[in-house]
Amino acid sequence: MKIVSKTSNPIVVTSGEPAGIGPELCLQLASRAWPVPLVVLGDRDLLVSRARILGLDMGALDILHLPLAAPAIAGQPNAANANYVLQMLDRALAGCVSGEFSAMVTAPVHKSIINDAGISFTGHTEYLARHTGTSRVVMLLAGAGLRVALATTHLALKDVPTAITQAGLEATLRILHNDLQNKFGITRPRILVAGLNPHAGEGGHMGREEIDVIIPVLNRLRTEGMQLVGPLPADTLFTKNVLAGSDAQLAMYHDQGLAVLKYAAFDEGINVTLGLPIIRTSVDHGTALDLAGTGRASASSLFAAVDAAIHIARRRI
């Protein structure tokens, strides 16, 4: 897929689940001067209405209008708007591919509401991979000095062990290593790799995934010059002394890594999808339906995601 991208082109921000906090977080973008143009994608009437309710100044916020399918009430998601949410992603993606936009930033969506509409959807990461023809992508969350990547993403815990294969783990580490160099400017990344089992398997007494899958992959990639440390017990990997000098950390499954990241940087953490032919960053929180329409939701994570998209886009020119 050929991508035409220039950092002088706008960054597009999808406003996410219309009943959640995404629209009001996007409105807060108008409170700051950005070094590149931003375009918010969503229903103009919804954004104007939410701004009026919350007393927010929209300023000169540039809105690319996509109409809702049904009225949106803060805190009350409606499956009738599931296609509207996906149309935003499709429009943003098409603009990134064509070069109309230099990057996309996504506000949160409500996965279960999309599924309730009869649409199979496991998350932004998988959706964007499928629609760009990308065979493998890596979810990386960053904040509070951490860059936590995931070997598996949205899977039931019982399915994780069989999903971790030598080929898959090697592909994940190659993407992580490559994008740390190309998107983050780290010449020789040092990556800490967690084991799957407690105590990293304890020599095979608590599981053999470390011995049979993880260690052979790490040894093979080390011969190519990659700086890989592990497999490490996950309960000590994220301690201060072990983290010192590392550039990223690879967790084997979703909650193993993200529980730590969200504890450390819930308000300011971001999600970066590695391996895509486009630049995509996101907030690292959900739709917060209980906060929607109250004005209490923090836009810190969205601001950090926009900052990261700008930084990465500038490196790609």
Q: Which residues are annotated as a binding site for substrate?
A: 124-125, 262, 271, 280
What is the distance between the alpha carbons of residues 40 and 61, in angstroms, rounded to a whole number?
Answer: 8
Three-state secondary structure string covering the chain: CCCCCCCCCCEEEECCCCCCCHHHHHHHHHHCCCCCCEEEEECHHHHHHHHHHHCCCCCCCEEEECCCCCCCECCECCHHHHHHHHHHHHHHHHHHHHCCCCEEEECCCCHHHHHHCCCCCCCHHHHHHHHCCCCCCEEEEEECCEEEEECCCCCCHHHHHHHCCHHHHHHHHHHHHHHHHHCCCCCCCEEEEECCCHHHHHHHCCCCHHHHHHHHHHHHHHCCCCEEEEEECHHHHCCHHHHCCCCEEEECCHHHHHHHHHHHHCCCCEEEEECCCCCEEEECCCCCCCCCCCCCCCCHHHHHHHHHHHHHHHHHC
Q: In this structure, what are the phi and psi dihedrals at residue 194, rounded to the nearest 5 degrees?
A: -80, 150
How far apart CA 14 and CA 92 sit, in angstroms, is 7
Q: Which residues are annotated as a binding site?
A: 124-125, 154, 199, 254, 262, 271, 280
HSE (side-chain half, CA atoms, 13 Å) at 125: 22
Buried b (16+ CB within 10 A) or exposed e, 169-187: bbbbbbbbbebbeebbebe
Q: Which residues are annotated as a binding site for a divalent metal cation?
A: 154, 199, 254
